[in-house]
């Protein structure tokens, strides 16, 4: 058959024992007739044979397999088979497994059957020897020893053995230990493994058995993701396993999906388990040719972290799960430290509200001072408990929980988020519930308009940009003319409702927003899954993150001087601090209004980017009532919509949220967006409440709506230390401005915040991740 033909071809090229010659009864003697002198010379030449692998340092190879009765051991064989510098097997042991009439053939054939059914790589005899016959190596766990020892062939390495092994440990239920075993010297081959050339001389990449990543990656060929096909516990075929979009991992938080499944894409903070990311290739260029070892380690680390994110993941915890035969295990454990450090620095593991007993990075990175202008931490995250439940004056909703670091923090603290339902009935003033068919139809037209805008912008430059509101109206007008359609009065109002949601998303009236770049971040993978309400608010997470930090409140910064070797920071009362690096996290508006004086001034490129972004504003109103008058009408939904009576009312209380999922407290919160923000800016709070109550009484006209017993209204536009809610791209701008804002200046002044995160702007998640990004950059320098 074809595979047989391929093997025959390989054998004739010199891979077989005897280089294609007739097999001899003994590899140590020649059958040719010769004089006594010639025979003596021949015997002296054949006392040993060195490894033929170019560059191999083994002058006197030793066979590790000892499978054949005729094993060469440390003597002569017609050919040595090289697995690594220090690991070879002889021609006789090759024959023992490869020849169909030999005792070992069935063992090899059985392994080969499992390998080919689960894996993708060639089931060669070398792969068999590496996977099944090489001895295991294990490191002594005594802190003052840490020497590597080779286990005897019959001992199987397990995670528990790796975690407890000590030199001289007895097996077969014999518990005695010889006291001086740690004093025995380490095998000289271990020292060679550390050298860079050793890895290049490795014939086969390491494939782990029983990796913690295994249950995450059942849809992949194991050997494509750093795992052994012989150790695959999956009984299903690849086709069957690929039908499982998300493998079931017992006890795993459903929001933890660190690996892409085959044919899946567009999921934030997710990695391809069979491919290195660009920043990984940059950090570990030595694995670019064959990334298997790196992938095996990275996948093991990621899986281990997501299985238990409440404890610091250390090299020691990971190392015990590296189950692979041969000296390559020594190299894998050595590389583990680097990979773990890189992933920690990038915020992929050991992150969130983890309580670390000792610093995860070197001590030089742990001296941090936080200067906060307000009398509280959190900035635009500010929780209010005055109404009987926690209400976020700023952020409170998590948009897309899969792989979201906020979901990770909630899991670490045991905080349960409330999943928001999809139902949102639209109520008209007068009390009528809008026909869902009309809502669905207008939602379709609304999205169709945005699709046309997306097509229009494909070949447009920044200079050809136009306001989104203007473009939307143009597309709508053209559609109605070409289709000879006319929206009814109600349909027009429902369209206005959807446009008000768009203004809420942008944080601005649409005449300020770029038609070309309004949704620039959608070109990147976004957070998917449930949208949730943090019923306990963000403050629980914030205060946990702030534990142990040196935070100075009521300390607004006036000047940052980075002209010298160190950076000098001056606060409004004249106090000064000096530092090697400074991270600026003030809202975009404060940079636009030059509230901080930089010396030298910030680069022109950065200033231009700062002014090309807009400072979006929304406001909130929260009302506490004596009872839940809305329950019967909204039937358990988490929110309901308000259809505006006309264009002039668009954005005025467009959606009302029920802030108590337990349905005990009576608190509603609503949003003010778009032109409505400027309408309420100069109104007294009582006037805004009266207008909101007028709307609620119209929406629930068929029943009595009680007066609120308490309320609050936000004033972010007047807040001296924010003057905004979140950023957007102004007409003529582009998403690149976020990246430019994120650039450091001279390796001394760094910038973070939602307006520096091109992928996830406008969100708490984006702000948090920008901080992780900058911490990583500062630590890398």
**Tens of pLDDT, residues 527-580:** 999 999 999 999 999 999 999 899 999 999 999 999 999 999 999 999 999 999
pLDDT band at 397 (very low <50, low <70, confident <90, very high): very high
Helix, strand, or coil here: 338?
helix
β strands within 125-273, DSSP E = 137-139, 148-150
* pLDDT for res 88: 96
* pTM exceeds 0.75, yes or no: yes
- Three-class SS of 70-116: CCCCCCCCCCEEEEECCEEEEHHHHHHHHCCCCCCHHHHHHHHHHHH
Pairing between strand 576-579 and 567-571? antiparallel
Closest CA to 229 of 270, 238, 247: 238
Torsion of CA 7, 11, 14, 19, to 10 degrees: 170
pLDDT band at 464 (very low <50, low <70, confident <90, very high): very high
Of the chain, the percentage scoring pLDDT greater than 90 comes to 83
Per-position b or e across 743-776, b if 16+ CB within 10 A of its CB: ebbeebbbbbbbbbbbbbbbbbbbbbbbbbbbbb
Per-position b or e across 607-635, b if 16+ CB within 10 A of its CB: bebbebbbbbbbbbbbbbbeebbbeebbe
Average pLDDT over residues 457-485: 94
Cis omega (within 30 of 0) on the bond before 766? no
Other CB atoms within a 10 A radius of the CB of residue 22 amount to: 6
Average pLDDT over residues 666-687: 96
* pLDDT for res 781: 75
* pLDDT for res 242: 43
First-to-final CA distance of the chain: 58
Strand partners, 259: 271
Average pLDDT over residues 242-251: 64
* pLDDT for res 175: 52
Distances 103 to 326, 338, 474 between C-alpha atoms, Å = 24, 44, 82
Task: Give the count of alpha carbons within 13 A of 17, CB side only.
Answer: 22
* pLDDT for res 13: 32
Q: What's the CA gap between 122 and 659, in Å, rounded?
A: 59
Angle of CA points 524, 528, 533, to nearest 5°? 125
Q: Which two tokens stand for residue 605?
A: 């490129």
CA 703 centroid distance within chain: 50
Residue 734 has pLDDT above 80, yes or no: yes
- Three-class SS of 626-678: CCCCCHHHHCCCCEEEEECCCHHHCCEEEEEEECCCCCCCCEEEEEECCHHHH
User: What are phi and psi for residue 223, nearest 5 degrees?
Assistant: -75, -10
* pLDDT for res 173: 53
Q: What is the pLDDT of residues 533-542, one digit of tens each?
A: 999 999 999 9
Q: Which two tokens stand for residue 40?
A: 């003596």
pLDDT band at 49 (very low <50, low <70, confident <90, very high): confident
Average pLDDT over residues 319-332: 97
Pairing between strand 80-84 and 87-90? antiparallel
Q: What is the pLDDT of residues 57-113, one digit of tens each?
A: 888 899 999 999 999 999 999 999 999 999 999 999 999 999 999 999 999 999 999
Q: Which of 192-196, 240-244, 489-493 has the highest mean pLDDT?
A: 489-493
User: What are phi and psi for residue 638, nearest 5 degrees?
Assistant: -85, -20
Q: What's the CA gap between 28 and 476, in Å, rounded?
A: 90
Residue 38 has pLDDT above 60, yes or no: no
Say which range, 4-8, 183-187, 656-660, 720-724, has the weakest mean pLDDT: 4-8
* pLDDT for res 251: 84
User: What are phi and psi for residue 765, nearest 5 degrees?
Assistant: -60, -45
* pLDDT for res 265: 87
* Tokens 């229009």 sit on residue: 456
Average pLDDT over residues 480-493: 93
């Amino acid at each position: 058959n074809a595979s047989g033909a391929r093997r025959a071809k390989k054998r004739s090229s010199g891979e077989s024992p005897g280089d294609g010659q007739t097999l001899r009864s003994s590899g140590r003697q020649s059958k040719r007739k010769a004089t006594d002198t010639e025979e003596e010379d021949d015997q002296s030449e054949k006392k040993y044979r060195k490894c033929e692998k170019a560059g191999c340092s083994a002058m006197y190879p030793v066979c590790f397999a000892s499978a054949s009765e005729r094993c060469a051991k440390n003597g002569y064989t017609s050919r040595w088979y090289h697995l690594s510098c220090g690991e070879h097997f002889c021609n006789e042991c090759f024959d023992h497994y490869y020849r169909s009439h030999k005792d070992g053939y069935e063992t090899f054939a059985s392994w080969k059957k499992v390998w080919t059914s689960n894996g993708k790589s060639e089931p060669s005899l070398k792969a068999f020897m590496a996977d099944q016959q090489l001895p295991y190596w294990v490191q002594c766990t005594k802190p003052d020893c840490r020497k590597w020892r080779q286990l005897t062939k019959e001992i199987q390495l397990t995670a528990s053995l790796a975690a407890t092994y000590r030199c001289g440990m007895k097996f077969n239920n014999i518990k005695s230990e010889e006291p001086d075993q740690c004093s025995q010297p380490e095998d000289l081959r271990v020292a060679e493994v550390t050298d860079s050339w050793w890895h290049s001389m490795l014939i086969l990449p390491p494939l782990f058995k029983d990796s913690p990543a295994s249950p995450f990656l059942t849809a992949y060929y194991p050997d494509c993701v750093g795992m052994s096909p012989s150790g695959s516990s999956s009984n299903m075929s690849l086709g069957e396993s690929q039908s499982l979009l998300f493998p079931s991992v017992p006890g795993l938080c459903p929001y933890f999906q660190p690996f892409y499944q085959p044919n899946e894409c567009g999921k934030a903070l997710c990695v391809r388990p069979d491919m290195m990311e660009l920043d990984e290739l940059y950090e570990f260029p030595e694995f670019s040719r064959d990334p298997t070892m790196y992938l095996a380690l990275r996948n093991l680390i990621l899986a281990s972290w997501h299985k238990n994110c409440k404890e610091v993941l250390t090299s020691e915890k990971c190392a015990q799960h590296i189950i692979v035969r041969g000296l390559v295990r020594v190299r894998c454990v050595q590389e583990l430290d680097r990979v773990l450090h890189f992933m920690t620095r990038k915020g992929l593991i050991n992150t969130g509200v983890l309580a670390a007993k000792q610093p995860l990075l070197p001590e030089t990175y742990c001296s941090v001072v936080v200067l906060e202008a307000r009398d509280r931490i959190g900035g635009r995250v500010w929780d209010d408990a005055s109404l009987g439940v926690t209400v976020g004056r700023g952020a409170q909703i998590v948009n897309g929980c899969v792989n979201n670091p906020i979901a990770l923090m909630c899991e670490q603290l045991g905080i349960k988020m409330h999943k928001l339902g999809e139902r949102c009935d639209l109520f008209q003033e007068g009390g009528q519930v809008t026909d869902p068919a009309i809502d669905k139809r207008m939602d379709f037209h609304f999205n169709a308009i945005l699709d046309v805008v997306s097509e229009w912008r494909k070949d447009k430059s920044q200079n050809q940009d136009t306001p989104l509101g203007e473009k939307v109206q143009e597309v709508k007008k053209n559609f109605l003319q070409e289709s000879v359609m006319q929206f009814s009065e109600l349909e027009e109002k429902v369209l206005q409702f959807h446009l008000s949601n768009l203004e809420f998303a942008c944080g601005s009236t649409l005449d300020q927003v770029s038609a070309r770049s309004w949704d620039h971040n959608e070109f990147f993978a976004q957070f998917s899954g449930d949208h949730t309400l943090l019923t306990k608010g963000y403050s629980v997470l914030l205060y946990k993150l702030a534990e142990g930090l040196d935070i100075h409140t009521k300390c607004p910064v006036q000047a940052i001087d980075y002209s010298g070797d160190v950076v000098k920071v001056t606060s409004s009362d004249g106090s000064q601090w000096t530092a090697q690096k400074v991270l600026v996290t003030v809202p975009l508006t404060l940079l636009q209004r030059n509230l901080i004086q930089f010396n030298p001034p910030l680069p022109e490129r950065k200033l231009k980017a700062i002014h090309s972004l807009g400072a979006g504003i929304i406001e909130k109103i929260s009302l506490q009532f004596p009872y839940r008058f809305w329950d019967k009408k909204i039937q358990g939904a988490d929110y309901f919509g308000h259809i505006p009576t006309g264009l002039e009312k668009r954005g005025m209380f467009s959606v009302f949220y029920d802030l108590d999922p337990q349905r005990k407290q009576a608190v509603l919160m609503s949003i003010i967006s778009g032109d409505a923000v400027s309408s309420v800016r100069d109104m007294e709070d009582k006037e805004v409440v009266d207008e909101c109550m007028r709307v609620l009484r119209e929406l629930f006209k068929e029943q009595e709506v009680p007066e609120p017993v308490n309320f609050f209204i936000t004033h972010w536009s007047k807040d001296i230390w924010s003057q905004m809610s979140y950023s957007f791209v102004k007409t003529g701008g582009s998403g690149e401005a976020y990246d430019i804002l994120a650039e450091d200046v001279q390796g001394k002044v760094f910038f973070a915040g939602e307006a520096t995160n091109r992928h996830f702007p406008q969100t708490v998640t984006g702000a948090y991740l920008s901080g992780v990004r900058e911490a990583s950059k500062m630590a890398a320098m």
